[in-house]
Amino acid sequence: MIVSNRDVFPDHLAKEGRQEIIAVLKELGYNYIIINEEDTPLGVVETYEDAKKCAELFRNNSKDISGILVILPNFGDEKGVANTIRLSGLHVPVLIQASSDEITQMNRKNRRDAFCGKISVSSVLYQYGIPFTLTKNHTVALSSDEFKLELKRFEKICKVVKSLKNARFGQIGTRPAAFETVRYSEKLLDYYGIKIDPVDLSEVFGRIERLDNNDERVTEKQEFIKNYTSTKVFQEEGLLKLAKLAVVVEEWIIENELDGFAFQCWPSIQDNFGVVPCAVMSIFSEGLVPAACEVDIAGLIGMYILQQASDTPSAILDWNNNYGEDPNKMVLFHCSNLPKSFFKDTKMTIHPIISDQKGGEVSYGAIQGRIKSKPCTLLRIETDDINGEIKAIMAEGKYTEDELDTYGGYGVVEIPNLQELLQKVCKGGYAHHVAATLTEVGDIVFEALHTYMGWKIDYHNNS
């Protein structure tokens, strides 16, 4: 945290602002790092010497810093702020706050001018190439509920950025041969700090083969799966296979310190093991370890981003069907591995599609149900090899109560100007999958990806 001061403005405002922001952060339960009052006058930053001391403090605590707050109780010193951030060597999100003047306190003793100071700070940070985030209103009182919401939003932005730059994802198997739509560039992801750790399905099957049916870990997983849904009738052989798969995948995730995984969910696992992995993937996603089907690594990253922004499970779905003649409604569907918290009610069954092709005896483990009627955020990430960039398209909408009798995991979604969105999905070469969360976090995701990751993102219907 940088509390900035300017010598020609009232010092007491800086002193009081420092005390006030510390009290707010304590109230919200945030840890903070700030220069001591013994190290600089009032414990704020103004001069180059102040900036050097504060920057050293930040460097020494860099592992604990997810973001920087710039607090302007008065005009502040833009060079002091910019020099602190540059000298610290930190590359984290920056939030600039400016305190509001009161109409009755515009005398020489109490006038802040932080309104103007914020513009100066922003200008110099721009010149230094330091990205930053602004509060929605130009000035905001430190102790206000409005600013507390800004801090919570900024926390989520920091969380998305920090987690993405250190993310590790697993890839189990190869993509289905027919699905060139989910191809991705591992090199582009690695450039942004996102690591992919692949494992062949044969290795998974080998580890499963070495598990005894009566292994305590397998027994515990069987009970967990039985209690996961309200399903009363279980295919015992399929249940045992799902439990073994869950044990092996969980141990592999722990061994490799993975944040999520994408799975080759057909056709090899049905042909060589005799189950669909949907229920296992649903369980992991529900436990905030996102699992994407059809080896869709880019889709998995979208799930992870939405999960980090919302602190809730995310899912991956198909942009799948029109809904009658309504141009702003569509059906989002998968067949399905959605986390159970997405559903109004759910059951575990044989796979509604794969069973038609390969038979019910090798396709047990799908999770079916209707998605809750709630607001949602949809996000699709792509590694665009042709243009050498990572890009995204995002929209917010809501799941509706519109009548629909179908199978899988499904819901009707309403999005304003949906036809325009679908045009952009097609012309942009985006995959047929989209990540979803049952919360509205579009502004958080946009700020994290656009401002700090430098990704090209189209935020539909947001000017």
CATH number (domain holding residue 28): 3.40.50.10940
Per the structure, how many domains does the chain have? 2
Do residue 117 and residue 180 come from a single domain? no
Secondary structure of residue 436 in the 3-state scheme: strand
Question: Cα(361)–Cα(241) distance, rounded to whole angstroms?
Answer: 12
On whether the CB atoms of residues 343 and 317 are closer than 8 A, the answer is no
Residues 158 and 183 in one domain: no
Whole-model pTM? Answer: 0.97
Residue 115: HSE in the Cβ half-sphere, 13 Å Cα cutoff: 8
CB-count burial class (<10 Å; 0-12, 13-18, 19+) for 419: exposed
Cα 324 to Cα 406: distance, rounded to the nearest angstrom: 14
Residues 117 and 215 occupy one common structural domain = no
Which residue, among 1, 3, 33, 35, has the nearest Cα to 17 in the 3D structure? 3
**Do 43 and 154 belong to one domain?**
yes
Same domain, 44 and 185: no
CATH number where 179 lies: 3.40.275.10
Structural domain containing residue 180: 168-459
Domain closes at, from 149, 164, 179? 164
Same domain? For 112 and 204 the reply is: no
Helix axes 11-28, 145-164, angle to 10 degrees: 70
Query: pLDDT digit of tens for each residue in the chain (463 aa)?
Result: 999 999 889 999 999 999 999 999 999 999 999 999 999 999 999 999 999 999 999 999 999 999 999 999 999 999 999 999 999 999 999 999 999 999 999 999 999 999 999 999 999 999 999 999 999 999 999 999 999 999 999 999 999 999 999 999 999 999 999 999 999 999 999 999 999 999 999 999 999 999 999 999 999 999 999 999 877 677 899 999 999 999 999 999 999 999 999 999 999 999 999 999 999 999 999 999 999 999 999 999 999 999 999 999 999 999 999 999 999 999 999 999 999 999 999 999 999 999 999 999 999 999 999 999 999 999 999 999 999 999 999 999 999 999 999 999 999 999 999 999 999 999 999 999 999 999 999 999 999 999 999 999 999 999 6
172 lies in the same domain as 160: no
Q: How far is CA 107 from CA 8, 9, 117, 170, 349, in A?
A: 14, 11, 17, 61, 72
User: Are residues 152 and 235 located together in one domain of the fold?
Assistant: no
Token couple for 302: 């979208």
205 lies in the same domain as 306: yes
Domain endpoint, select from 118, 143, 164: 164
141 and 179, same structural domain? no
- Phi/psi for 234 (5° steps) reads -120, 140
- Give the domain-ending residue among 164, 181, 202: 164
Residues 109 and 174 in one domain: no
Task: Please tell me whether residues 401 and 260 are part of one structural domain.
Answer: yes
